[in-house]
A and B are shown apart, each in its own frame.
Chain A
Amino acid sequence: MTSRKLSTWTLAALAVGAATAFGIGSGTVLSLLTQATIYALFALGVGLLLRQNGMVSFGHALYFGSAGYVVAILMQTRAVPAEAALVLTIGGLTLVAFVLGLLIVRVPGIAFGMLTLALGQMAFLTASRVRGLTGGADGMTVEWPSTLFGVSISVLTRPSVMLLVCWSTLVLVLFALALLLRGRFGGITEAVRDNEERARFIGIRTLLPRAGVYALSAAVTATAGVLSALNTGFVSPESLHWSLSGVALMMVVVGGTGALWGPAMGAAVYFLAKDLLGDHAQHWMAIFGVALIVATVFAPQGLSGLLQQLARRRRPASAPAAAEPGPAAR
């Protein structure tokens, strides 16, 4: 997609967001949409790792929850102004993820997944037990100051404004990622993903790009974590639990990774389905388990992949285009 098209889409998306945020009156609906947007951002991080590195993380909630906790702790200690805390949290976690990434991206195959699961659970257990710092299993409230970036907190936490903020963040992050991945970095990471050995043989040092993608995926997920802390004003160990990572992963699989926005679509489907399920929502785990299995087996390119295929069929193709890769390109 050209830069111009990308910019147009971005602006259009922002406009739609504004219209929705201020057009919808129901607080409940706005709140639901906000949650969906936050999860979409979370899933985007997980999807980025899968798409660019071909690696599956079963523990990305580590960054989602940690972001919330770090912000909460910084607010509590009033060590820095709130605006700085936000930047420090995301930046700090990205740095940590990069260093961690340098170590763990070397672990091949499913062992990587198991390691991420272990790391995530480690964080969960720590948060649950260390009462003094994190409030333990009860969680902790995030003490936001009266203004944030010049805007009063009461205005910011209004459902419509909150949705606008979260949606705009999602759109801008997608925009930034699309730009970044168009360039060299995107090409290099795709090459490493497709064939790490050959990548080395054409002169690519493979460790740094992979750690970089890991860090980037952590940054995106951490941003979602910060937004969540802003949205609910509260953070608890559940935000670190592996089941949350699992839900995000499911969104990625259902939405597909062929398109960058695939995981966001998966999140939308998840929330829509959960809402539609109504009473049956008690059994959401089983239903989503089935959805995951069906998607993985029958539609590995996900909903976004299916949509892209449909779009391609409508347009007479100038060059033969391939089906997008499955859940993970080797």
Chain B
Amino acid sequence: MLIHIFNGIVYGALLIVMCSGLALIYGLRRVVNFAHGALYMLGAYIGYSVATHSNFWVALLVAPAVLAVLGVALDRWGFRLLQDRDPLTVVLVTFGLLLIIEDGVQTFWGKANLSVPAPDLLATSLDLFGTPVPAYRVGVVVVGAAVALGLTLWLRYSRAGLFVRAASTDPTTTAMQGVNTDALSATVVGLGTALAGLAGVVAAPFLALSPSMSSDVLIDSFVVVVIGGLGSLAGAFIAAMLLGLIQALGAVWLPETSMLLPFLLMAGVLLWKPAGLAGSRT
């Protein structure tokens, strides 16, 4: 029982890392990044390559960095150029990007399932209230918590964070106040995609790398972000944990229906409150 709750928390932590990126990008740019899952996958595969040639810890640094650069490019030549267009246009572009990245990954790394071994330091098991749990997974939870805490503090107390919150609420006035919204945008989107990449690398040792991993996690991410309220980080954190636990516990008790629960939850929330639980704007 405990192990299932623990696994739920682990997956929830992963979703936190993943979805905070999605929420950040939406919050600032009002764009639902359909390519987010593909970016996660790309991060995982890049991590795999780096890890097999050097080690996991380097991968943990390199993959998010590469994804950050990609994010900045995406913002500069994608979101910013299209910001005056119909919002659907950008979404479709990210969807096209998703197709391109998926193809790229398949071409470069093939369609076989790959695996990344956990780093030696964490390849042991720890004792959690009498139940042995893989140390690596505990590490994942730590990363999730660190991201959640870090982002919250950053948004609350840093100048950049203040600007992000301001720009999320009112981009025009913020720009008029002399805040460099372009640089801000690049930072936030880069951060968002870096988080997706980080999630990918972190996920690699305990979830297999496969061509379908992007869509699996994308759907879950959408569910989280929608339930939490589009653009709300706090909401995303809570919803991520909720989803992680539902998936893990549901798989044990109600295997047939557990996979439907997230969608039903999302559908329910959207119908009752189209803006999500915590979000105030759609």
Whether a CB of chain A sits under 8 angstroms from the CB of B163 is no
Q: Evaluate contact between A327 and B92: CB separation under 8 angstroms.
A: yes
Which of B133-141, B183-191, B215-223 interfaces with chain A?
Answer: B215-223
When A and B form their complex, which 3 residue pairs have the shortest distance between CB atoms, in order from nearest?
A289-B99, A286-B103, A292-B96
Q: Which of the 9-residue segments B4-12, B153-161, B201-209, B256-264 touches chain A?
A: B256-264
B65 within 8 A of A: no
- Across the interface, which residues of A come within 8 angstroms of B146, CB to CB? none
Q: In the docked arrangement, what's the CA distance between A296 and B95, Å?
A: 11
B260's nearest neighbour on chain A, judged by CB, is: A122
Which residues of A from 264 to 321 have beta carbons under 8 Å from B?
282-286, 288-293, 296-297, 300
Task: From A117, A130, A284, A296, give the contact of B219 (CB < 8 A).
Answer: A117
Instruction: Tell me the bound Cα distance from A58 to B189 in angstroms.
Output: 24
Is A286 in contact with B282, judged by CB distance below 8 angstroms?
Answer: no
Q: Is B69 an interface position by the 8 A CB rule? A: no
Bound Cα distance A114, B96 (Å): 16
Rounded to whole Å, the gap between the CB of B250 and the closest CB of chain A is: 12
The residue of chain A having its C-beta at the shortest distance from the C-beta of B89 within the complex is: A296
Given that A114-B222, A125-B259 are known contacts, is A289 also in contact with B107, CB under 8 Å in the complex? Answer: no
Cβ contacts A to B, 26 pairs, < 8 Å? A58-B95, A103-B271, A107-B271, A109-B87, A110-B32, A115-B266, A117-B219, A118-B263, A118-B267, A119-B267, A121-B263, A122-B259, A122-B260, A130-B256, A249-B92, A253-B92, A282-B107, A285-B102, A286-B99, A288-B99, A290-B100, A297-B89, A326-B85, A326-B88, A327-B92, A328-B88
Asked whether A104 is an interface residue with its Cβ less than 8 Å from the other chain, the reply is: yes
Residues on the A chain within 8 Å of B102, using CB: 285
Partner among B222, B262, B274 whose Cβ is within 8 Å of the Cβ of A106:
B274
Residues of B contacting A122 in the complex (Cβ-Cβ under 8 angstroms): 259-260, 263-264
Identify B96's interface contact among A126, A289, A326, CB under 8 A.
A289
B111 CB, nearest partner CB in chain A, Å: 11
Q: How near does chain B come to A189, taking the closest CB pair, in angstroms?
A: 18
Number of A-B residue pairs, CB cutoff 8 Å, is 125
Inside 8 A of A292's CB, which chain B residues have their CB? 92-93, 95-96, 99
Q: How far is the CB of B106 from chain A (nearest CB, A)?
A: 8
Interface residues of B (CB under 8 A from A): 32, 82, 85-89, 91-93, 95-100, 102-104, 106-107, 215, 219, 222-223, 226, 230, 256, 259-260, 262-264, 266-267, 270-271, 274, 282
CA distance in complex: A290, B100 (Å): 7
- A contact set with B: CB distance below 8 Å: 56, 58, 103-104, 106-111, 113-115, 117-119, 121-122, 125-126, 129-130, 242-243, 246, 249-250, 253, 282-286, 288-293, 296-297, 300, 326-328, 330
> Given contacts A289-B99, A292-B99, A293-B97, are A115 and B267 in contact (CB under 8 A)?
yes
Q: Which residues of A contact B107 (CB under 8 A)?
A: 282-283, 286
What 16 additional pairs, Cβ within 8 angstroms, besides A107-B270, A114-B226, A249-B92?
A111-B226, A111-B270, A118-B219, A118-B262, A246-B99, A286-B103, A289-B96, A289-B98, A289-B100, A292-B93, A296-B89, A300-B86, A327-B88, A327-B89, A327-B92, A328-B86
Give min CB distance, A65 to chain B, whole Å.
Answer: 16
Enumerate chain A residues within 8 angstroms of B219, measured Cβ to Cβ.
117-118, 121, 242
CB <8 Å contact, B32 and A330 = no
Main secondary structure of the interface of A (DSSP, over half): helix
Residues of B within 8 A of A326 (CB): 85-86, 88-89
- Closest beta carbon of chain A to B78's beta carbon, Å: 9
Residues of A within 8 A of B222 (CB): 114, 117-118
Q: What residues on A are CB-neighbors of B85 within 8 Å?
A: 326
Residues in A neighbouring B223, C-beta threshold 8 A: 118
Q: A111 vs B26: C-alpha distance in the bound complex, in angstroms?
A: 12
User: In the bound complex, do residue B274 and residue A108 qualify as a contact, i.e. CB atoms below 8 Å apart?
Assistant: yes
Residues in B neighbouring A246, C-beta threshold 8 A: 95, 99
Residues of A within 8 A of B263 (CB): 118-119, 121-122
B88 touching A129, Cβ below 8 Å: no
Smallest Cβ distance from B264 to chain A, in angstroms? 8
Q: In the complex, which residues of chain A have a beta carbon less than 8 angstroms from the beta carbon of B106?
A: 285
Contacting residues, chain B, for A327 (C-beta < 8 A): 86, 88-89, 92
**Cα–Cα distance between A127 and B115 once the two chains are bound (Å):** 28
Residue in B closest to A294 when the chains form the complex, CB atoms: B96
